[in-house]
Structure 1
Amino acid sequence: MAEYYIGEIFTLLLMSLALSMDAFSVSLGMGMQQLRLKRIALIGIVIGIFHVMMPFIGILLGKFVSDSIGDFAIIAGGLLLIGIGIQMMINAFIQDDSKMIRPIGFGLLVIALTVSLDSFSIGLGLGMSGVKTALAIILFGISSTMLTWLGLYLGRKVHGFIGKYSEILGGSILCGLGIQILIG
């Protein structure tokens, strides 16, 4: 029984890190702008809040859908994870950083919403599979906040050459988790 909970925590932790790779990648680019540490802290918190809200809404909707369509929901959830993972990997190669939105006011909300949209989709899949909601959204919020801060800080120090690779890694993790759901 304890192994089941440890496995679920480990899986959710990997998933939260994979979902946070978008935020990390975007924050690397934003970090190259001249941002004060206070602004960096605010950006990380706002993105973390969105990474809590979006999957929570998705989980609630996923549970509703799961009750309606039964076992098909697990297959749909696994396929959804694989699809999002593939999309993340493809977007890593076609990303255009020349139109970077400034992380201030409405621009910050747009950035936070954009990088957390995949969390909504993942939430749908998780809700269909009956995940522990509180654990999932806490891990999503913490990991996205921490990786955003890390990306913003590293963006100040490094010149963007690892952004693409972090999205590829995140996408491959999501694909692996989707395959695990389908097989399991």
Structure 2
Amino acid sequence: MNLYATLILAFGMSMDAFAAAIGKGASLHRPGLKEALRTGLIFGVIEALTPLIGWGVGIAASRYVMAWDHWVAFILLFILGARMIVEGLRKKVNAPEEAPERHGFWLLASTAVATSLDAMAVGVGLAFLQVNIVTTALAIGASTMIMASAGILLGRFLGPMMGRWAEIFGGLVLIGIGSNILIEHLGLLA
């Protein structure tokens, strides 16, 4: 795989994290660069690890992983999205100061895992190609770190405009990402 193909793959793999990060940033109370970089780092590291795991699994048992990865991603994203929607509905209309300053590590990590399962599936496919998996995984991780950090900062500006609807929107985005993964893998939009 050449440099351009690697960069396109890395950018494509980071788009789910970007969309999820916008929702996460919008639900926070004025997230700064430090929180954006923290979120980007968590998403980026996890997104870099999943193709490596997928590559290893692909060598061992690709058909078993690919049979279930879309269901796992859908269920995780649906649960996280539903949780965000419920939290958004519980918030008072004019209470931006009640928004958290930052998300917990485990919430970000679980969101990152859910949005990176497609990267694991790509890793399974890369096991059958002549690629340097470490370089490819690092490119995916770096791209995801940049895009997730940018998503948090973009969410910072969208959050005040949307108020409590920001978290509801973020939850809907996560459910939409999960549904899209499921629909693509089941071939329902062929």
Is TM > 0.5 for Structure 1 vs Structure 2? yes
Taking the aligned partners of 1:78 and 1:142, their CA distance within structure 2 comes to 30
Aligned length in residues = 166
- Where does structure 1 lack aligned partners over 5 or more consecutive residues? none
Give the match for residue 123 of structure 2: 127
Q: What secondary structure sits across from 2:163 in the alignment?
A: coil
Listed as ranges, the matches of 1:30-179 within 5 Å are 30=28, 33=29, 35=30, 39-69=31-61, 71-72=62-63, 76-77=65-66, 79-89=68-78, 91-95=80-84, 96-97=86-87, 102-103=101-102, 108-119=104-115, 121-130=117-126, 132-161=136-165, 162-179=169-186
Q: What secondary structure sits across from 2:32 in the alignment?
A: helix
TM-score normalised to structure 1 length: 0.68
- Where does structure 2 lack aligned partners over 5 or more consecutive residues? 92-98, 127-132
Q: After the TM superposition, which of the residue ranges 45-54 and 58-67 deviates more from structure 2?
A: 58-67
CA deviations on 1:21-61 (whole Å, 9 max, x unpaired) are 3322222111xx2x3xxx51111111111111112222222
Pick aligned residue for 2:24 from 9, 23, 26:
26
TM-score normalised to structure 2 length: 0.67
CA deviations on 1:85-139 (whole Å, 9 max, x unpaired) are 3542454334332697542xxx653443243232454443232121732332222
Taking the aligned partners of 2:75 and 2:12, their CA distance within structure 1 comes to 16
Pick aligned residue for 1:17 from 15, 18, 24:
15
Query: Which AA in structure 2 matches 1:28?
Result: A
CA deviations on 1:47-91 (whole Å, 9 max, x unpaired) are 11111111222222222222222x426xx2364135313542454
- Contact 2:39 2:148 (8 Å CA) reproduced: yes
Identical amino acids, percent of aligned pairs: 14
- The alignment yields a C-alpha RMSD, in angstroms, of 3.5
Taking the aligned partners of 2:160 and 2:184, their CA distance within structure 1 comes to 32
